[in-house]
Copies of this chain bind each other. A is one copy, B any other.
């Protein structure tokens, strides 16, 4: 049995058990999970950061660097969660490999949670939102939501974080890709990564390029650069993120209110549909009518 005081004290074993409980899909575990979630105090001071970028852009190394800055330099706690919708589909996972962040994983003040191995009732993002509450209650100051950078995961992540950070590298067409996928409107902070591997000219060209893409944006994103292998360089970037956060604090507060309302509605929808046995009913009717023509179906619907 998970004890609330252990969670509030940040007991890692109990936290891991709570994560497993929240990710479980059995009816009994869901009941226990809801009870646990109902008991968690809120921690409104935690900062929720989304981090995205196409595969190969260096997300793991970046998160490891940022995470070390948070734990070692700032002496704060960080939880790294992932949204990886490829995981339940392909069996394999693009992210979620704990060993990717070996140094950070060994930190006492860091908790890295690989992506869930199977899809939760109501989607991966529903579970992730619950995990955010858990880690915030356990005293984690920063929650980093990492996405695979393909598909819908960025949109899901955007709806649960305060600031959304997008990683890129010079000499790539990922800016156009991001436009195509409608990602640009999500971004608060764009960071050109791996500056050690490219010339200053290439890095500056990318920064200019991003600057011009963002110039007309409502969200007024900031643009920065980093060499993620150099932990020292996270100091400046962190300060930029923090300044941006402080400047937009009022907007972020009302954004959280909106995110909360959306989430509450999703929880109620799921609950009502489950209580009405909607899925079973729909499946039954689909199978009953599967060979019907459309006019036969309209006839069936009159009954």
Mark A residues whose CB is within 8 Å of B.
31, 34-35, 37-42, 133, 179-182, 260, 263-265, 267-269, 271-273, 276, 278, 281-282, 285-286, 289, 292-299, 301-302
Residues on B with beta carbons closer than 8 Å to the beta carbon of A34: 298-299, 301-302
Residues on B with beta carbons closer than 8 Å to the beta carbon of A40: 295
Copy count, this protein chain: 2
Q: Are A285 and B297 within 8 A (Cβ)?
A: no
Q: Are B295 and A269 within 8 A (Cβ)?
A: no
Q: Are B294 and A265 within 8 A (Cβ)?
A: no
Q: Are B180 and A38 within 8 A (Cβ)?
A: no
**Chain B residue with Cβ nearest A137:** B295
Extra contacts besides A38-B295, A272-B278 (11): CB < 8 Å = A37-B294, A38-B296, A38-B299, A182-B182, A260-B294, A264-B289, A264-B292, A264-B294, A269-B282, A271-B285, A272-B285
State which of B31, B181, B271, B286 has its C-beta within 8 Å of the C-beta of A265. Answer: B286
How distant is the Cα of A271 from the Cα of B181 in the complex, in angstroms? 33
Q: Are B180 and A298 within 8 A (Cβ)?
A: no
Residues on B with beta carbons closer than 8 Å to the beta carbon of A39: 295
How distant is the Cα of A271 from the Cα of B180 in the complex, in angstroms? 36
State which of B278, B285, B302 has its C-beta within 8 Å of the C-beta of A276. Answer: B278
Q: Are B301 and A267 within 8 A (Cβ)?
A: yes
Q: Are B285 and A268 within 8 A (Cβ)?
A: yes
Q: Are B301 and A271 within 8 A (Cβ)?
A: yes
